[in-house]
């Protein structure tokens, strides 16, 4: 890594003992604990339903000579005739018990998890060993290179991490208690490490991946959405510190013919109703689907009307415009359409804007879709169950969904990739920029992240156009940034006549 990027500044990582944010449980290489059935780590936590062996700080040899360490939880009845598959949770987030403090830090109300739902031994964003030991699986919680007492320096994805994952799979698959079948599971970094590995290597022992939520393109998905810096304060904060799954693993790690292929749809679609209370079961419609995007979607065009501030089915004949202050964190241009009958929308929405700025040669443009109740209220959706109505839950992005967004830095409009782009999903290379002459009206195409929404009669959808990220901050410790864009002055949206500013929605 240092050879690839010789101009970067490198500094020694602090040890886990001296790092203020690291959950540290000591270092006990190859110690073995017997966790009896019914064992609880703390009062009120999930008990182990079967006898389980915990091997602490098991050294995993890596090809360049370093050792990384893992905690291994496995059912105690495993012997030469009763081997089990292994599920690896790979990240630098600590090996055991790191879910306990982090869930409270990352979101209000313990991100929807009751204390009795987890054992307290789980790795942050990984599977709980108490649950999976009962199912007949070993859980391998790995400290990635440079984390905890694992040797070497932490690497942020890339080829080095992929090789480390390969070597870990190889070592674990050959242990005497392992059946030779290995899977991976987890969220966020734990998901991305799976995608990173699978995009570069394969291993005969690896039979199943379960990246619950992650990303595959760091630039487009996170660091520079639409070519603009996206939430840099969150990155500084990070750098400073469900039965379907069982059926999936049973099929591909244990070889059980349980009908997974026949019974499991390739796509599950969630349509959000944005109910204004904490009852998620009322506000989500789950639908099995066969493909994505949906073959039955109907792409319909709504035009922006600057005079009425509406989304209309027919473009206005005369030209008009609407202007908002692009530098702040509150101003936006808003356009609304009311639905007279129940409506479902799912897929990629796309916005086409004719826009100009007299004060600066670039524009950072954000677009967002919001749902409006029949009585005119902007609605929010809880991302996980909370004991309070949505209006009383802290305004964190991790807890509340406001609606899908899309972003584009206008100077990157010239990098559109025609080979990867479709009628709905516009892809940009972001490999060059072309400044915008002051006051010149330019055409921008912006695809929003995929969505699923359901509307009752009388409810509405609002298109917001602004110069800033319109979601809530990612945690209460990360605040919105005023310096997070290229904007100066005001942005003017042009509509009607030759300016066909529009929103294309996927109706199903």
Residues 21-71 pLDDT 10s = 555 667 899 899 999 999 999 999 999 999 999 999 999 999 999 999 999
pLDDT at 37 (0 to 100): 96
Q: Which residue has the tokens 């904060």?
A: 237
Instruction: Give 239's pLDDT tier (boundaries 50, 70, 90).
Output: low
Q: Report the candidate in 467, 493, 226 with the shortest Cα–Cα distance to residue 355.
A: 493
What global pTM score does this model have? 0.82
More confident of the two residues 378 and 77:
378
Residue 278 has pLDDT above 50, yes or no: no
pLDDT at 235 (0 to 100): 58
pLDDT at 285 (0 to 100): 85
Assess whether the region 31-216 and the region 270-507 belong to the same CATH fold: no
Question: Does 31-216 carry CATH code 3.40.50.970?
Answer: no
Q: Which residue has the tokens 């760091």?
A: 218
Mean local confidence (pLDDT), 467-482: 73
Q: How is the chain split into domains, by residue range?
A: 31-216, 270-507
pLDDT at 456 (0 to 100): 92
Mean pLDDT of the chain: 89
Instruction: Give 466's pLDDT tier (boundaries 50, 70, 90).
Output: very high
More confident of the two residues 398 and 462:
462
pLDDT at 328 (0 to 100): 83
Percent of the chain with pLDDT over 70: 90
Strand 381-382 versus strand 442-447 pairing type: unpaired
Residue 214 has pLDDT above 60, yes or no: yes
Instruction: Give 100's pLDDT tier (boundaries 50, 70, 90).
Output: low
Our CA angle for 191, 193, 195, nearest 5°, is 75
Residue 361 has pLDDT above 90, yes or no: yes
- Do residues 178 and 254 touch, judged by C-beta distance below 8 A? no
Q: Cα separation of 281 and 273, whole Å?
A: 10
Least confident of 101-110, 281-290, 469-478: 101-110
Residue 350 has pLDDT above 90, yes or no: yes
Element (H, E) at 503: strand 502-507
pLDDT at 20 (0 to 100): 58
Residue 241 has pLDDT above 50, yes or no: no
More confident of the two residues 277 and 297:
297
- Do residues 269 and 452 touch, judged by C-beta distance below 8 A? yes
End-to-end CA, the chain: 47
Mean local confidence (pLDDT), 1-13: 77
Mean local confidence (pLDDT), 213-227: 78
Mean local confidence (pLDDT), 91-110: 78
Percent of the chain with pLDDT over 90: 68
- Do residues 140 and 86 touch, judged by C-beta distance below 8 A? yes
Residue 139 has pLDDT above 90, yes or no: yes
Our CA angle for 292, 296, 297, nearest 5°, is 75
Q: Which CATH number fits domain 270-507: 3.40.50.300, 2.60.120.260, 2.30.110.10, 3.30.70.100?
A: 2.60.120.260
Q: Cα separation of 296 and 293, whole Å?
A: 9
pLDDT at 140 (0 to 100): 98
């Amino acid at each position: 890594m240092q050879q690839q990027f010789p101009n970067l500044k490198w500094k020694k990582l602090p040890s886990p003992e001296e790092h203020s944010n690291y959950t540290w449980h000591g270092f006990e290489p190859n110690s073995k604990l017997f966790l009896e059935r019914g064992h609880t780590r703390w009062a009120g936590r999930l008990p182990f339903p079967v006898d389980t062996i915990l091997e602490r700080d098991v050294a995993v040899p890596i090809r360049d000579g370093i050792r990384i360490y893992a905690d291994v939880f496995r059912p105690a009845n495993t012997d030469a005739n009763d081997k089990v598959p292994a599920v690896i949770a790979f990240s630098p987030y600590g090996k055991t018990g790191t879910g306990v403090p982090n869930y409270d830090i990352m979101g209000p109300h313990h991100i929807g998890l009751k204390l009795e739902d987890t054992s307290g031994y789980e790795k942050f964003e990984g599977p709980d060993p108490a649950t999976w030991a009962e199912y007949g699986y070993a859980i391998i919680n790995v400290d990635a290179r440079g984390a905890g007492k694992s040797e070497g320096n932490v690497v942020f994805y890339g080829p080095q991490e992929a090789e480390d994952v390969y070597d870990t799979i190889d070592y674990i698959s050959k242990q005497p208690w392992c059946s030779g079948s290995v899977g991976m599971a987890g969220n966020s970094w734990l998901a991305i490490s799976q995608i990173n590995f699978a995009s570069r290597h394969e291993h005969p022992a690896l039979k199943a991946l379960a990246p619950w939520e992650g990303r595959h393109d760091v630039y487009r998905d996170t660091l520079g959405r639409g070519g603009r810096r996206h939430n840099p304060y969150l990155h500084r904060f990070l750098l400073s510190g469900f039965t379907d799954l069982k059926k999936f693993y049973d099929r591909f790690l244990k070889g059980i013919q349980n009908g997974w292929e026949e019974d499991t749809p390739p796509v599950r679609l969630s349509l959000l109703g944005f109910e204004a209370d904490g009852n998620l079961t009322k506000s989500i419609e789950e639908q099995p689907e066969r493909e994505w995007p949906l073959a039955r979607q109907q792409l319909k065009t709504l035009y922006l009307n600057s005079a009425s501030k509406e989304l209309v089915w027919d473009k206005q004949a005369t030209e008009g415009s609407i202007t908002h202050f692009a530098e702040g964190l509150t101003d936006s241009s808003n356009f609304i359409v009311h639905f007279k009958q129940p409506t479902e929308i799912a897929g990629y929405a796309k916005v086409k804007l004719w826009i100009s700025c007299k004060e600066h040669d670039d524009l950072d443009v954000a677009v967002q879709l919001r749902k409006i109740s029949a009585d005119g209220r902007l609605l929010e959706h809880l991302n996980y169950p909370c004991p309070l109505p949505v209006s009383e839950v802290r305004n964190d992005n991790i807890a509340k969904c406001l609606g899908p967004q899309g972003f584009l830095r206008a100077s990157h409009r010239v990098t559109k990739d025609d080979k990867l782009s479709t009628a709905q999903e516009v892809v940009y290379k972001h490999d060059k920029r072309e400044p915008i002459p002051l006051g010149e009206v330019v055409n921008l195409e912006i695809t929003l992240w995929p969505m699923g929404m359901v509307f009752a009669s009388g409810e509405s959808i609002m298109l917001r156009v602004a110069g800033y990220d319109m979601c809530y901050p990612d945690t209460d410790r990360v605040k919105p940034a005023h310096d997070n864009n290229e904007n100066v002055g005001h942005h003017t949206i042009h509509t009607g006549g030759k300016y066909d500013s529009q929103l294309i929605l996927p109706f199903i």
